[in-house]
Amino acid sequence: MLRGLLATLKEMVVDPVTTVQYPEVKRPVSRRYKGRHTLKRYENGLEKCIGCSLCAAACPADAIFVEAAINTDEERYSPGERYASTYEINFLRCIFCGFCEDACPTEAIVLGDQYEMSFTERSQSIYDKAMLLEPVPAGVQPTPQKTEPGKFTRSVPEMQDPKD
């Protein structure tokens, strides 16, 4: 018995704090942590998502649902011709594999560090576009924006290869 107690006492003294007082204290997540998704924006406020539905195609859990519509310069949501008029993720289905992030041609969908999700009803698990989209940067118009014709003709931006 004493030998057993010794181990406990040793732990108390040698490495005393292992319990994190969640939710008062939260541990930082790793840089590649895959939490709840965010839909990103460009600096000018336009949405990166072009409604191509490749994330939905890549999703092994069939958790993503996208519907596209036509952009105009009068009402522009994203660069190019097409934007997502509906974007929904069902987080009861999502397995946080990150395939959607890999499939995205515009780096619009990114799995973030948000892991605190709880639902009291099944319908609450479906996050729509407004809930997923990140806020507009300060001093920039929200979408839809009125843009000058001929400026945003390309849907897919030129991108660098990932560094890490």
Partner 1 sequence: MPKMVTLTIDNHPVTVPQGTVVVDAAKKIGVDIPVFCYHPKMEPVGMCRLCLVEIGRPMVDRATGQPLMNEDGTSKVQFGPKLETGCTTPVSEGMVVHTQTDGVTSARKDILEFLLTSHPLDCPVCDKGGECPLQNLTMRHGPGNSRFLFDEKQHLGKNIPLGELIYLDRERCIQCARCVRFQSDVVDDPVIGFYNRGRKLEIMSNSTPGFDSIFSGNTTDICPVGALTTADFRFGARPWELKSAASICTHCPVGCNLTINVRREAKSGGDVAIKRIMPRQNESVNEIWICDKGRMAYHYAESKERLTSPLVRKGADLLPVSWDEALDLAAEKIRSTGQLVTLAGGRLSNEDLFNLAQVTQTVNGRALLYTHMAGGDLVARYGLPEGSDLGALGKGDAILVIASDLHQEAPVWWLRLKQAAKRGAELIVLNPRETRLDKFAGHVVRYPYGQEVETLSAFLPGAQVPEALQAVVSAFQAAENAVVFYGSEGLGLDGSQAVAQTAAALVFSRGKTGQPNNGLVAVWPNGNTQGAWDMGFKPSADLASAVRTADVLWAAAVDPAGDDPALAEAVDGARFVIVQELFLSETARRADIVFPAQSFAEREGTVTSGELRVQRYYPAIRPDANIRPDFAISAQIGLRLGLKLEARVSSLALLQAVEKVPTYAGLSYQRLADVTEQWPIFGRKDMYYGGTGYANSQGLGVKLALAADGINPHAAKESAGMPPAAVNGLVLVPMTRLFDRGATVMPSTLLHQRLADKVLQLNPRTAEKLGLDNDSDVLVAANNWTVDARIQLDENVPVGVALVPRSTGFPVTAPLAATVTSRVAVPEVYGGLRS
Query: Which residues are near partner 1 by CB under 8 A?
Result: 50-54, 56-57, 65, 67-70, 80-82, 85-86, 88, 105-106, 153-156
| Residues 39, 76: Cα–Cα separation, whole Å | 16
- Peptide bond connecting 23 to the previous residue in cis, omega within 30 degrees of 0: yes
* Least separation in angstroms between CB 86 and partner 1: 5
* Least separation in angstroms between CB 104 and partner 1: 9
Long-range pairs for 136-140 at CB < 8 Å and ≥24 separation? 136/41, 136/45, 137/41, 137/43, 137/45, 140/43, 140/44, 140/45
Q: Which is nearer to partner 1, 85 or 124 (CB)?
A: 85
Q: Which is nearer to partner 1, 114 or 124 (CB)?
A: 124
Q: Which is nearer to partner 1, 75 or 113 (CB)?
A: 75
